[in-house]
Amino acid sequence: MFFSDDRSQLFRPLTGKYREQVVECLRLLHERLYSSQADYGESLKRDQVLDVFVEALERAPVLEGNDDVGRFSGNREQAGWILNSLVEHGWLKRDKDEASFQSTYPFSRTGRLFTQTLVEVDGRSVRTRHRNTRNTLNSLVAFLDRGEVYDLIDAHEHSERIISDFSDIIAELEERKRELVKEVEAQQLVQQASDQFFDFMEKRFQPDVAVRMSADSVEKHRDRIQSTIDKIRNRPKAWKKNAELELRRLAPELIISQESSVLFQLLDSIETRMRNAAEIMLPALRRALQGFTRRAKIIIQQLSYLHNQQHSDLVGLCRKLSDLDETDFQRSMETAGNAMAGVSFGLIDPAQVLLRERAPKRMVQSQIHELDAPDDQTRRELAVQQLLEKAFNINGGAMRDYLRNALDAGNHIDSRNLPINSATDLLALSHIIELGGADHCAAGFKLRIEPSEPITDEHYFDRRDGFLLTLEQDDNHRTT
């Protein structure tokens, strides 16, 4: 359980009217411990933590609320109360030095993770959010070259961040659009809204999205990532076995069942995420960009209109005239009438009057030529090409049907006894071990494959690996 022991009331300090000050204290302490300003040579003692909290209290406001805590005589006293509250509820730890009998206050693991989230939400930290596609490819290539499973785990983690980065930028665009609309509604915030809009477009929107659509485009790297995954799957069996054993040793939490492969599970997961990023998240990002640019166009037009209307305050002029008495009102109207009564006219310069010749219409040849029927040689080549494509096409359903026919009424067979009666049977035999993959297992077809002696006395193959095939589950026909 998450809410247990010292975490039973973890979020209690973030409630009440002092919640903004507590958050600011956590952010500033995190910056003091883990940013470039951190002094990694020593841990912070109580007085040092209180100094950090006092600085944070000067920045953050007190929010309105009904909190039972009484007033504090100063920021130092309030900083001490916040420190005790964070230690009590599991954000910080109190470590005692047995030699000097002094206490230090580092973050707990849970407190550090949640504080890191608060720091990222605040937007003060610098984070590269558009390199995860390239990082996925680089980690897969490193795993293919060196065979270190940590590179594969890194690739799996980077591929997960691709989806989350898309979600972050889409959510940020929607939030920024709402903020712009809300601020432009108030005329006194027009200048502030325009400054924030152009600052966001120049410093955040254009650099990040430009890289995401070019150098880090999932469409650009998708084929290379797929090619690298195929090369990993085609590595020798001994190499894949060592990687599988190392993955099971280092990441036992990834094991779903003893029969399924953790290596192929991670590769399938990376493939799925790249497909979702290219086919679902990228179009969603484009739609969000289109909506944002349309809203930006409306906002710019509105800002331009409001700027042009600053010097023509018709409502203010009417209000001022309504406050005048009858005599002053008549005098003002007569003055305005005399100023508008003058007639001004001018003569047209004959040199500026020119007759323009109309451009002749271009003639476009729009006749449609009917194509002749293909000759016999072309049709023969097309027919042969179609037959070749059908002859070498094999799918999972055809392989499962082939194995079912070979098993007949049993559930156990040696791969050397599989029949070859046609070219389709030969293709199915060459791909038969793919039926032991996780995709077929998830579809209800569970096949156990055990290595046996190599097969060398065959007509179609000089040498191939032998396997004992045992059908353990087949939802479409029977269950054993």
N-terminal to C-terminal alpha carbon distance within the chain: 38
Helix axes 46-59, 19-34, angle to 10 degrees: 130
429/435 Cα distance (integer angstroms): 11
pLDDT of residue 41: 47
Region class of 236: left (phi > 0), else alpha (psi between -120 and 50), else beta: beta
244/264 Cα distance (integer angstroms): 9
233/475 Cα distance (integer angstroms): 27
Among 57, 107, 97, 112, smallest CA distance to 81 is for 57
298/292 Cα distance (integer angstroms): 10
Answer yes or no: are the C-beta atoms of 151 and 143 closer than 8 Å: yes
Contacts 24+ apart (CB under 8 A), 151-157: 152/243, 152/247, 152/263, 152/266, 153/247, 153/250, 153/251, 153/266, 155/266, 155/270, 156/266, 156/269, 156/270
pLDDT of residue 126: 47
296/87 Cα distance (integer angstroms): 46
Question: 454: helix, coil or strand?
Answer: strand
CB within 8 Å of 124: residues ≥ 6 apart:
27, 31
304/297 Cα distance (integer angstroms): 11
- The per-residue pLDDT string of the chain (480 residues; one tens digit each, 9 = 90 and over) reads 778 777 788 888 888 788 888 888 888 888 888 766 555 545 678 888 888 888 888 877 777 655 545 567 778 888 888 888 888 888 888 887 666 667 888 888 888 888 888 887 765 554 555 578 888 888 899 998 888 888 988 888 888 888 777 777 777 777 777 766 666 555 445 556 566 666 666 666 666 666 555 545 677 788 888 899 999 989 898 998 898 898 888 888 888 878 888 888 899 989 888 888 888 888 887 887 787 777 777 776 766 666 666 555 666 778 888 888 888 888 888 888 777 776 666 777 777 777 777 777 777 666 666 667 778 888 888 888 888 777 667 777 778 888 888 887 678 888 888 888 887 787 888 878 787 777 777 777 788 888 888 888 777 788 888 888 888 887 766 544
CB within 8 Å of 10: residues ≥ 6 apart:
3, 89, 90, 91, 110, 114
Buried b (16+ CB within 10 A) or exposed e, 289-308: beebeebbeebeebbeeeee
63, 78, 272, 309 from 66: Cα distances, Å: 10, 17, 49, 45
Answer yes or no: are the C-beta atoms of 412 and 452 closer than 8 Å: no
441/364 Cα distance (integer angstroms): 62
> Quick one: tokens of 131?
């390199």
> Quick one: tokens of 311?
């010097």
Burial of 13 (0-12, 13-18, 19+ CB in 10 A): buried
Phi, psi of 311 (to 5 degrees): -100, 10
Answer yes or no: are the C-beta atoms of 88 and 111 closer than 8 Å: no
pLDDT of residue 303: 66
